[in-house]
Amino acid sequence: MKEYTTSQIRNLALVSHGGAGKTSLAEAMLFLAGATQRLGRVDDGSSCLDHQEEEVRRKLTISLGIGQVEWKGAKLNLLDTPGYADFVSEVVSALSAADAVLLLVRGAAGVEVGTEIVWERVKEKKVPVLLCVNQMDKEHADFDKAVASVRERLGVRVVPVQIPIGQAEGFTGVVDLLRMKAYVTTGRGQEAKTAEKEIPAELAERAQTARDLLVEEAASGDEALMEKFFAGETLTLDEVVHGLERGVASGALVPAFAVSSTAQIGVRELLDDLVGLVPPPNEHPPVIGRVPGGESIVEVAPDASAPFVAQIFKTVSEAHVGDFSLLRVYAGRLQAGKEVQNFTRNQAEKLGSLYFLVGKERVEAKTVEAGDIVAAVKLKDSHTGDTLADRARPVLLPELRFPEPVMAEAIRPKSKGDEDKLGTALARVHEEDPTFRSEVDGVMHQTLVRGQGELHLDVTLEKIKRRFHVDVEMAKPKVPYRETVKAKAQGEYRHKKQTGGRGQFGEVHLRLEPVKRGEGFKFLDEVKGGVVPNQYIPAVEKGIVEAMTQGVLAGYPVVDVQAALFFGKYHDVDSSEMAFKIASIQCFKEVAEKAQPILLEPIDEIEVRVPEEFMGDVMGDVSSRRGKILGMNSDGHYQVVKALVPAAELYKYSTHLRSLTQGRGRHQQRFSHYEEVPREQAERIIAAAKAEKEAGAKA
């Protein structure tokens, strides 16, 4: 691959609802450009971009795929993203590196659930957008309806650059409205041949009307072109393309194309126009960073002659590919072996071999200019989101913001002794996918994994089994209940044991009372007159703390309690720290039982975003989960509901919400506080805990 300047580079993220054909389109572009020798297909597992074992088996994109296309003097970096919401981290990574987005919709469906979800991400990034109506050869495909649905549902100004010649089974080519030529394809797929022809007579009037609209839209963003247009002068092809490019760059226009990626119809024409309409990196405004350790603004312009600045937007780790850090270079030039500074972690980092990726294949890169994307052999101490730059230019680029997990499962290795291997595997997978997280809950004795949904967790655990040879089993997470007391009570306990030699003796008098929720544990030393020597008082506190971890109702930790040691007795010979610790453990249990012990449950605050038509169902469902509605507000066609719901009622809530809202509802949740469990639920929880304890004792 030859070297390209910043002005020749185009970074394009392909996004859509699942199944709209992003990967097939990228494969078609790679094949046409000669980057691959055959037309890869997702359905038969021959895709160059979907090469992971999980992707081949499931026939869907799971990870971000990258391919470089050299076309008409330009280099297009194609970022192929998953269409399923569970793999949103890949979309976030792609959008952080892209300068424009190619939004795909199916000709027979237009805007779908996944289109709306990914559109929210695109709007946040404020990047130029182009529309590709794909699968135009499929049954019920309708270009005009698909375009209309994008205009209506997404609220964007779509202007067709092509119109189809035929639709569904009769789709044979496109009319290029820029050049006013028809391109008709014979054969299909790898055998497709396209010829330039005159526009069919039956489409001539429609094409001229669409062309006039296109020219008007192209002129609307440029004052000089507007004057020429209204003066009745004819705009040249270059002027129309220039006007469209300006409209695309500003976000005012979304050009639309008609394509069948698998049949190879319209793909060549799409590539031609992408080179002219996708703004290169040097036509984008500078990226706004800041000085490390401060708030001073730093503008990073896409200038190859400036000091080097890049950001790691994705980490890849595959057995047959190796470990790579994917970099978007924002300024300067990068060469293999260059030593740079990781300003995110304030440490030096040496960049070894550099490669351009085409799926799992790699091409050695010698020099990489500002605006380009490259893979560096996995760096020692740098991670996704980190800023790498020349030491002479301290800067931190904006951090990548990944969504929080919405689902949790408990896991454990099937084979004893695999705990350490599992820990390593979980850390490595999180490095690749920041939306997958794990934690060890020492109190509940469980390892939790969190992700974006059932499919996300299933695929990730399959990956762990395949790559790290650790087989795990999943279970419903234990709810981290807590216990506390509602009343004040006091009591005493004497621990006395005579064994023939030195005995054990310790007597403690404790008073327990509740404190405000969230205040934790307080210990008061109210001993007077030395009835309990000072050296034994820490042992009393340790005994109380140990007893609190074991609970008094169902074995859950006790919280928000104040314990006061106000009296006791000791023996000059038989007293010891152990004796007082044992006495305090038993005394705490007895007094806690008299202080009206209760069970507490964690309450989560959830924020549910749903279309208006599903509001009633969602609110009814929240109420059925013992939830309390806090409020709601509008966000376009959506309503946002905030509520407090017991964590015990939210297991697999994301899956249920998708089912309830036809896949259009999303939620976020975070821990809020603890509340007393209603009596009936508490009785069931306590009974279940006792039964589990008895079963364990028998085993």
Please give, one letter per residue, the 3-state secondary structure of 1-30: CCCCCHHHEEEEEEEECCCCCHHHHHHHHH
- The CATH architecture annotation of domain 600-680 reads 2-Layer Sandwich (3.30)
Buried b (16+ CB within 10 A) or exposed e, 410-443: bbebeeeebeeebeebbebbbbbbbbbbbeeeee
Contact 590, 511 (CB under 8 A): no
Parallel, antiparallel, or unpaired: how do β-strands 354-358 and 347-350 relate?
Answer: unpaired
* CATH 3.40.50.300 given to domain 6-283: yes
- The domains spanning 287-389 and 407-475 adopt the same CATH topology: no
For residue 47, what are its two tokens?
């895709």
- At residue 316, the pLDDT reads 87
pTM as predicted: 0.89
Contact 111, 233 (CB under 8 A): no
Please state, in angstroms and rounded to a whole number, the distance separating the CA atoms of residues 176 and 266.
Answer: 9
Contact 49, 26 (CB under 8 A): yes
Question: Would you say residue 320 has pLDDT above 90?
Answer: no
Please state, in angstroms and rounded to a whole number, the distance separating the CA atoms of residues 618 and 639.
Answer: 10
- At residue 319, the pLDDT reads 62
Please state, in angstroms and rounded to a whole number, the distance separating the CA atoms of residues 100 and 103.
Answer: 10
For residue 289, what are its two tokens?
């960073």
- The closest of 340, 328, 673, 623 to 480, measured between CA atoms, is 673
- At residue 54, the pLDDT reads 84
Question: Would you say residue 169 has pLDDT above 60?
Answer: yes
CATH numeric code, 407-475? 3.30.70.870
- At residue 318, the pLDDT reads 67
Q: Predicted confidence band at 322 (pLDDT cuts at 50, 70, 90)? A: low
Please state, in angstroms and rounded to a whole number, the distance separating the CA atoms of residues 582 and 588.
Answer: 10
Diameter of the chain measured on Cα atoms: 116
For residue 330, what are its two tokens?
């924002």
- At residue 223, the pLDDT reads 82
pLDDT in tens, 449-497: 999 999 999 999 998 998 889 999 999 999 999 999 999 999 999 999 8
End-to-end, the C-alpha distance of the chain in Å comes to 66
- At residue 617, the pLDDT reads 95
Contact 435, 82 (CB under 8 A): no
Cα–Cα distances (Å) from 13 to 102, 261, 372, 384, in that order, read 6, 16, 13, 18
Q: Which DSSP helix (H) or strand (E) runs through 373? A: strand 373-377
Q: Is 380 helix (H, G, I), strand (E, B) or coil?
A: coil
Which range has the top average pLDDT, 57-61, 313-317, 407-411? 407-411
Question: Would you say residue 515 has pLDDT above 60?
Answer: yes
Question: Would you say residue 234 has pLDDT above 90?
Answer: no
Contact 178, 273 (CB under 8 A): yes
- At residue 699, the pLDDT reads 61
List, in sequence order, the alpha helices (H) in 126-185.
143-154
Contact 568, 630 (CB under 8 A): no
Fold of domain 287-389: Elongation Factor Tu (Ef-tu); domain 3 (2.40.30)
Find the range with the poorest average confidence among 275-284, 319-328, 432-441: 319-328
Contact 575, 539 (CB under 8 A): no
Question: Would you say residue 381 has pLDDT above 90?
Answer: no
Cα–Cα distances (Å) from 645 to 53, 451, 632, in that order, read 39, 20, 15
For residue 218, what are its two tokens?
């192209």
The residue count for the chain: 699
Please state, in angstroms and rounded to a whole number, the distance separating the CA atoms of residues 35 and 41.
Answer: 15
CB neighbour class for 42 (10 Å; exposed up to 12, middle 13-18, buried from 19): buried
E strands present in 60-219: 65-71, 74-80, 100-106, 129-134, 158-160, 162-165, 173-176, 181-186, 193-197
Question: Would you say residue 397 has pLDDT above 70?
Answer: yes
- At residue 317, the pLDDT reads 78
Amino acid present at 508: V
What whole-number percentage of the chain has pLDDT above 70?
99
In the predicted model, what is the mean pLDDT of residues 494-517?
90
List, in sequence order, the alpha helices (H) in 407-561.
419-432, 454-468, 537-550
- At residue 38, the pLDDT reads 87
Mean pLDDT of the chain: 93
pLDDT in tens, 543-570: 999 999 999 999 999 999 999 999 999 9
- DSSP line for 178-221: TTTEEEEEES-GGG-EEEEEPPPHHHHHHHHHHHHHHHHHHHTT
For residue 174, what are its two tokens?
């496109």
HSE of 563, CA atoms in CB hemisphere, 13 A: 31
Buried b (16+ CB within 10 A) or exposed e, 2-37: eebebebbbbbbbbbbbbbbbbbbbbbbbbbbebbe
Contact 485, 491 (CB under 8 A): no
Q: Which DSSP helix (H) or strand (E) runs through 626? A: none
Question: Would you say residue 321 has pLDDT above 60?
Answer: no
Question: Would you say residue 93 has pLDDT above 60?
Answer: yes
Q: In what order do the strands lie in the sheet with 173-176?
A: 162-165, 173-176, 181-186, 193-197
Question: Would you say residue 141 has pLDDT above 70?
Answer: yes
Domains in the chain: boundaries: 6-283, 287-389, 407-475, 483-595, 600-680
Check residue 575 and report its DSSP letter.
B
CB neighbour class for 277 (10 Å; exposed up to 12, middle 13-18, buried from 19): buried
- At residue 189, the pLDDT reads 84
Residue 634, by phi and psi: left (phi above 0), alpha (psi -120 to 50) or beta?
A: beta
pLDDT in tens, 593-649: 999 999 999 999 999 999 999 999 999 999 999 999 999 998 878 899 999 999 999
- At residue 624, φ and ψ (nearest 5 deg) are -70, -15
In the predicted model, what is the mean pLDDT of residues 417-441?
92
Cα–Cα distances (Å) from 64 to 23, 286, 353, 358, 365, in that order, read 10, 25, 21, 12, 20
Q: Is 82 helix (H, G, I), strand (E, B) or coil?
A: coil
Q: Which DSSP helix (H) or strand (E) runs through 333? A: strand 333-335
Q: Which DSSP helix (H) or strand (E) runs through 62? A: none
- At residue 205, the pLDDT reads 95
- At residue 380, the pLDDT reads 83
Class of domain 483-595: alpha beta
Cα–Cα distances (Å) from 256 to 34, 174, 599, in that order, read 25, 12, 59
Please state, in angstroms and rounded to a whole number, the distance separating the CA atoms of residues 6 and 302.
Answer: 8
Contact 512, 562 (CB under 8 A): yes
